[in-house]
Each structure stands twice: as structure tokens, then as C-alpha cells.
Amino acid sequence: MVIVESANPSWMLPLLEALQGRTYRVRVVGSIAISLSYVAASRSDGLITARPCRSVDAAAAQLIAREMGALVAFDDLPLEQADLGLEARYQLAAAWTPEALKTLRAAQS
């Protein structure tokens, strides 16, 4: 099960098409922090955002997810290089395996 975060349903169509046949179920929770927490708690196999999100919206939850062993990516940057300023925005993806993260990142392209 993969969580997709998006404020606009039209942004989700390309992601859903890219994930068709690659995931069993898709959910939309409505909060990046809560969705990342679901990944951290193994309630979801992964998370992708349909549009760039503010890094501060994911800052605490991505730390929790990484501490639990999940892989988290802000665009293609190492997490240490992601700016936490209010204007900084990134495509976010999180998953438990490198293969799953690669699949989710490809769906964002």
C-alpha cells in the first residue's frame, strides 16, 4: 500500500497511472507528516507527493521514518542538503527498500 499526498486531484493522475500494476492499494491521508509516520510505523509501504512539498512539513516525520529504517528522498538530494527554509520545496518519496523507492521516484517523473 502506497500513500499519495496531493492537494489537487488532477495532480494525482500521472502518479496513479505510473503506479498501476505496481502497488496493491493507494491511500490519500491528507497530511505529509502523518503519512510519513505511517511509513515509519510500517502501516504503509511507501509515500510519494504529487507536487513539491515544503521540507518543513516533513522534517520531523522524515527523521522518525529514517530512524525506523525507512528510506526518504527529497528530490535527488542527500537529506543533509535539503534546505529547511519556508520557501524550500521538494518532491518527497519514502519507502522501505531501494527498489520500492526507485519505483516511487520514477512515478514522480
Residue-range domain boundaries for the chain: 2-108
Q: Which fold has domain 2-108?
A: D-Maltodextrin-Binding Protein; domain 2 (3.40.190)
Contact indicator for 33, 56 with CB cutoff of 8 Å: no
| Integer-rounded Cα radius of gyration of the chain | 12
pLDDT tens-place values along the chain, 109 residues long: 787 887 777 888 888 888 888 888 887 888 899 999 999 999 999 999 988 888 888 888 989 999 999 999 988 777 778 888 888 889 999 999 999 999 999 998 8
Separation of alpha carbons 16 and 33, rounded Å: 21
